[in-house]
Amino acid sequence: MYTRKVFRAKDMAMWTRFESFGFFIYCAVIVALYFFLDLTWIKIPWTPLALIGTAVAFVIGFQNNAAYGRIWEARKIWGGIVNTSRTFGMYVQDMVNNEHTRNHLDEESLQAIIKQLTYRHIAWMTALRHAMRSSRPWETIMNERTNKEWGDMMHPPEWKVDLEEDLKPYLDEEDMKYVMSKNNKQTAILYRQSHQLEQLKQRGLIWEFSFLQIESVIEELFTLQGKSERIKNFPYPRHFATLNHYFMWIFVWLLPLAIVPQFAEIGTEMIAAQPVIGKLFVWLSIPFYVAVAWVFHTMERIGRTGENPFEGSANDVPISTIARGIEIDLRQNLGESDEEIPEQFEEVYNVQM
């Protein structure tokens, strides 16, 4: 447990090292102006800075709460996809049968239909996760230097394989042609799913009441898909995000102009009793400033990182892992062997994607 805490602290320090180094250099310059050039007039009073700091703390707290709300909502949506997918798999296996048809199919043909419906559902999840991982103009968090470093070490599987390649194992040629001709691939797959269910009802392979039950599951899948797309396509309001960012930097840039004079005054008071410590005491303002600036900057950055829970960062909702877990469940319940079923996506640095 202790090792995990140290590892996480190290990761956080590496993630913010460039900004922390910049804070150190900036404050050191201000202190040097005080210490070597005696420019003691470079200062501002604490009162206005405290007001700015209070406002910044409020807006950053609001941003972080809103960002966490988006992440948590996304996780609940995909949790709903897990439950609904299992329900769909159960309904398909139990409700597609010869009970209400005149032209009975052999068991092999029935299993082929069940497998086709199940695989098409897996294709829907595949198309949806690819859509959620596609880039949007406002998703810029991965452009930051340290986030690019993390992206080089770990990135979603959707960035490695294109959608058409991922769909081939699950859709027949006719379905592939239909789905790839549509802009919204996941919607097209659900349409194909509903069309086949209607055909099976007409053939008597699905009882009418069972058909309504399965269609209600398709409706729920449309609802969950729409909720997921809403989060993906509606960014955290830019006026909130941009102002938060600017307010934080205004506070961070002004902060040394209040901290350094305060430490200089304390040092002056100490000179009579401790001449050396009193003279050098102003330099202690550097670590204090770096600590305060790091806290404000890191909290603001954490909020920005959580604004888009499907962007592809290490802190996103692990939709690839969730979708693959559902696929494994469904295919195991079809009776497929472990050799036929793909393995779960690998965790990199204990991070699920």
Going from N- to C-terminal start, the domains of the chain cover: 89-236+319-353
- The pTM score is 0.89
**Average pLDDT in the 217-223 region?**
97
* Angle at CA of residue 348, ends 346 and 351, nearest 5°: 100
Q: Which two tokens stand for residue 164?
A: 């058409």
Yes or no: say if 98 and 206 are a contact pair by the CB < 8 Å rule. Answer: no
Percent of the chain having pLDDT more than 90?
62
CA distances 255 to 46, 67, 80, 221, 282, Å, are 9, 26, 46, 51, 14
Distance CA 172, CA 154 (A): 32
Q: Which two tokens stand for residue 156?
A: 């979603």
What would the pLDDT profile of 294-324 be if each residue is shown by its tens digit?
999 999 988 888 888 998 887 889 999 999 9
Would you say residue 145 has pLDDT above 90? no
Residue of 255, 318, 349 lying closest to 43 (CA atoms)? 255
Yes or no: say if 222 and 113 are a contact pair by the CB < 8 Å rule. Answer: no
DSSP assigned state of 44: -
**Crossing angle of the two packed helices 185-202 and 208-233, in degrees rounded to 10:** 180
Residue of 119, 121, 334 lying closest to 220 (CA atoms)? 121
Q: Band of the pLDDT at 6, cuts 50, 70, 90?
A: very low
Q: How many residues does the chain have?
A: 353
**Average pLDDT in the 167-179 region?**
96
Measure CA of the first residue to CA of the last residue in the chain; give whole Å. 23
DSSP assigned state of 180: H
Distance CA 135, CA 310 (A): 9
Amino acid 5: pLDDT: 39
Residue of 76, 75, 116 lying closest to 92 (CA atoms)? 116
E strands, the chain, in order: none
Q: Band of the pLDDT at 8, cuts 50, 70, 90?
A: low
What sign does the dihedral 147-150-152-154 (CA atoms) show? Answer: negative
What sign does the dihedral 268-273-275-276 (CA atoms) show? Answer: negative
